[in-house]
Amino acid sequence: MRLYFIHGGKRVWLSAWLQTSGWPVILIPLAITYLHRRATDPATKLFYMKTPLFMAAAIVGVLTGLDDYLYAYGVARLPVSTSSLIIATQLAFTAGFAFLLVKEKFTYYSINAVVLLTAGAGVLAMHTTSDKPAGESSREYMMGFVMTLGAAALYGFILPLVELTYKKSRQEISYTLVMEIQMIMCLLATVFCTVGMLINKDFQAIPREARDFELGDAKYYHVVVWSAVIWQCFFLGAIGVIFCASSLLSGILIALLLPATEILAVVFFQEKFQAEKGVALGLSVWGFASYFYGEMKENKKKKLAAPPPTNNPVGNA
20 near 188, Cβ under 8 Å?
no
Distances (CA, A) of 122 to 43, 81, 143, 290, 299: 56, 15, 17, 19, 32
148 near 128, Cβ under 8 Å?
no
**What whole-number percentage of the chain has pLDDT above 70?**
93
Asked if residue 110 has pLDDT above 50, the reply is yes
Rounded CA Rg of the chain: 22
pTM for the model stands at 0.85
89 near 124, Cβ under 8 Å?
no
pLDDT of 275 reads 78
pLDDT of 306 reads 66
CA atoms of 75 and 112, how far apart (whole Å): 28
pLDDT digits (tens, 9 = 90+) for 13-54: 999 999 999 999 999 999 999 999 999 888 888 889 999 999
Of 26, 22, 18, the closest CA to residue 68 belongs to 18
117 near 283, Cβ under 8 Å?
yes
Asked if residue 312 has pLDDT above 60, the reply is no
φ/ψ (deg, to 5) at 50: -100, 170
Q: Give the chain as a 3 state SS string.
A: CHHHHHCCCCCHHHHHHHCCCCHHHHHHHHHHHHHHHHHHCCCCCCCCCCHHHHHHHHHHHHHHHHHHHHHHHHHHHCCHHHHHHHHCCHHHHHHHHHHHHHCCCCCHHHHHHHHHHHHHHHHHHCCCCCCCCCCCCHHHHHHHHHHHHHHHHHHHHHHHHHHHHHHHCCCCCCHHHHHHHHHHHHHHHHHHHHHHHHHHCHHHHHHHHHHHCCCCHHHHHHHHHHHHHHHHHHHHHHHHHHHHCCHHHHHHHHHCCHHHHHHHHHHHHCCCCCHHHHHHHHHHHHHHHHHHHHHHHHHHHHHHHCCCCCCCHHHHC
pLDDT digits (tens, 9 = 90+) for 276-302: 778 877 887 888 788 778 878 877 887
Distances (CA, A) of 5 to 102, 121, 124, 277: 38, 23, 22, 22
**Termini Cα distance of the chain:** 60
CA atoms of 258 and 317, how far apart (whole Å): 52
Band (pLDDT 50/70/90 cuts) for residue 317 is very low
